[in-house]
Amino acid sequence: MYVPDSHMFDKDSPFTLYYQLKEELAKKIASHEWKPGEKIPSEAELCKSYNVSRITVRKAIEDLVRSGQLIKHQGKGTFVTNVSLEHKLSKFYSFSEELTRSGMTERAQVLSFDVVAAPDEISEMLSMQRGEKIFMVKRLRMADEMPYTVEISYIPYSICKGLTAKNITEKGLYNSMRSLDVFPERIIEKIRATVVSKSDADLMKVKTNSPAIKLDRLTYYGVHTIEYCVSIVRGDFFTYTIELKS
């Protein structure tokens, strides 16, 4: 049973009540008083506990949802997010497999699926002739329904002619490739710091210019380059660890 904190805010403070409440709730998350994956008290309970209105509580929670600290599950309530998943860069990996091993449910929403003539830069990355056709697939990936990355994959049409948006949605990209006898074997990935653009911020439900990680990935099958992928990953979601041996 939830026991109210009987907390009173300073109504004469230059900071609004909603901001004071948001900071108080953020402290509970940061200190792990509210643990990752834990359901937080209901809006009604928070209103009673902090002696504030439903509008104040709702606004504070919405801000914490936008910043990725809380996530809402329809019909179930609001939960502390499971973020900052550590990933060791030592072998071939996929986001979905890493998240599944961590006990999270991952899914990818196909935002667009097009066959286009490859721009010069993409042709060069894929070692293709200028103007050859490619698949251009844009996806929004989510963990426990929290959007964490926007990615665009460029795939040579000639290598994966049977690729469809339906198969990618149902099986994932690499499994769809494998079903066409194209087997991702090796990757080269570049990692750099960036910020989230306005369009990606709207999709990932974070603030524009929030910290992010940009991943540029080349995937190979034998001597063939089968994918060039650009991913923008929320900066608060993954920790990349590199182990070096002499």
Each residue of 39-67: pLDDT tens digit?
A: 999 999 999 999 899 999 999 998 888 76
9 belongs to a structural domain: no
Q: Is residue 31 part of a domain?
A: yes
Per the structure, the complete domain to which residue 93 belongs is given by 85-241
More confident residue, 112 or 23: 112
Higher pLDDT pick, 73 / 150 = 150
**114 lies in the same domain as 190:** yes
How many angstroms separate the CA atoms of 188 and 118, rounded?
A: 21
Q: What percent of the chain has pLDDT over 70?
A: 81
Question: Which residue, 80, 107, 127, sits at the end of a domain?
Answer: 80
As a whole number of angstroms, the distance between CA 50 and CA 45 comes to: 9
* Number of domains observed in the structure of the chain: 2
pLDDT in tens, 135-190: 999 999 988 888 999 999 999 999 999 999 999 999 999 999 999 999 998 888 88
Q: Which of 80, 95, 128 is the last residue of a domain?
A: 80
